[in-house]
Structure 1
Amino acid sequence: MASEAHAYSVWALPPEEARVRVKKLMDNLRSEFGGPEFDPHLTVVRAVTLTPEDALDRFRSACNGVKAYSVHARGISIGTCLNLIFDPTPQVVATSEHCCGHFGFNRTAAYRPHMSLLYADLTNEMMKKAEERATILDDSIANLCFTVNRLALYITDEDKTLKSWKKVAEYELQPI
């Protein structure tokens, strides 16, 4: 019997110090504006539907030989959610393209590295307030820099509560 397919994503995980800082900001924003809880991450590969075995094989293959890399935030933006935007440096883009190739994900637009801070169904006016609140809660978050040294494979099935999202595997990247 075949395993049930899920949507799988590859995330770049921030190191502990950055994770704690971003998580605190996310928790404060969520308590004020609502929305589901999720782990801080930069999406490297967006949801691709695969069987568990295929997803793990592709993840292991994609991570092999990938080196740690630095990321630098350059501001907060509003879209369907509140995002911390990162510079699309050659290393950041190359890592995503490399992993997307292994997962068979064909991007239809340029890669826009970001870390979502708040998923909530808000009006533009309320999202603007959330953006302002984020800079009050952490006035230097828009300048956050860190080294990504771990990638993770997550199940990211379509789910408004995000309760179905869970980490399946994690990979320590080669040092820079």
Structure 2
Amino acid sequence: MAGGPTEAAKGVYSVWALPPEDVRDRLKRLMGALRSEFGGPKFEPHITVVGAISLGPDDARRRFRSACAALSPYPVRVSAVSRGTFFYQCVFLLIDPSPEARSTPSQSTSFLEISVVATSARSCGHFGYENTTPYMPHLSLLYGDLTEEEKERARQRAEALDKEILSLSFEVSAVALYKTDTEDKSLESWEQVELCHLSDDK
């Protein structure tokens, strides 16, 4: 019984990589247009770095800060607009797992250490999180339980609404700890817990 209160205090947390503000605004417009046509809950544009994991709030913050201390800004490039097989991967931007390296001649850090996949792997290590499937970096545009036909229409609509979306690339310089109860498909309980701005000064 001693562990009861501690268990009750646990929550489900995720780590998100956040696009810069100008990209975020662009994506929000696209996501809003898709929601108006196909429904679904509202959420912040993000790339999941660490998937949903059950932790106590203090432990989650401690692990998040530890992970952030080991991370640097990294490049992201969109490679496709795709559709998935479940609610949280309905229609999304597929992220190139190995975009071109940033030009950082003054640094000894190798590109492999600042890639989207390496960032997730390193962060998952701090959280003790193990992916049950290979990591597929992506940025969701729409959540929902749509038919395959509806998902394909939404995917095509996304490409039509933002004709330059496949040339989108940006640098991630901020990550956030979010409370993300995956049982709450309304997303009303989801909230940002802590934000970290990444620095090259490692």
TM-score range with shorter-chain normalisation?
over 0.9
1:162 aligned to 2:167? Answer: no
SS of aligned partner of 1:122: coil
Runs of 4+ in 1 over 6 A off after TM superposition: none
1:113-139 residue CA offsets vs partner (Å, 9 max, x unmatched): 100000011110011110111011101
Deviation at 1:157, TM superposition (A): 0.5
Structure 1: gaps (5+ residues): none
What is the TM-score when the length of structure 1 is the normalising length? Answer: 0.96
In the other structure, the counterpart of 2:62 is 57
Deviation at 1:49, TM superposition (A): 0.2
Q: 1: CA distance between counterparts of 2:153 and 2:19?
A: 26
In structure 1, what residue type is equivalent to 2:18?
Answer: L
Match of 1:113 among 122, 137, 146: 137
Q: 1: CA distance between counterparts of 2:78 and 2:189?
A: 28
Match of 2:75 among 70, 75, 94: 70
What is the TM-score when the length of structure 2 is the normalising length? Answer: 0.84
Q: 2: CA distance between counterparts of 1:65 and 1:100?
A: 12
Q: 1: CA distance between counterparts of 2:164 and 2:143?
A: 21
Match of 1:146 among 167, 170, 174: 170
* Matched positions, count: 176
SS of aligned partner of 1:76: strand
Structure 2: gaps (5+ residues): 99-111
SS of aligned partner of 1:126: helix
In the other structure, the counterpart of 1:40 is 45
Q: 2: CA distance between counterparts of 1:23 and 1:33?
A: 15
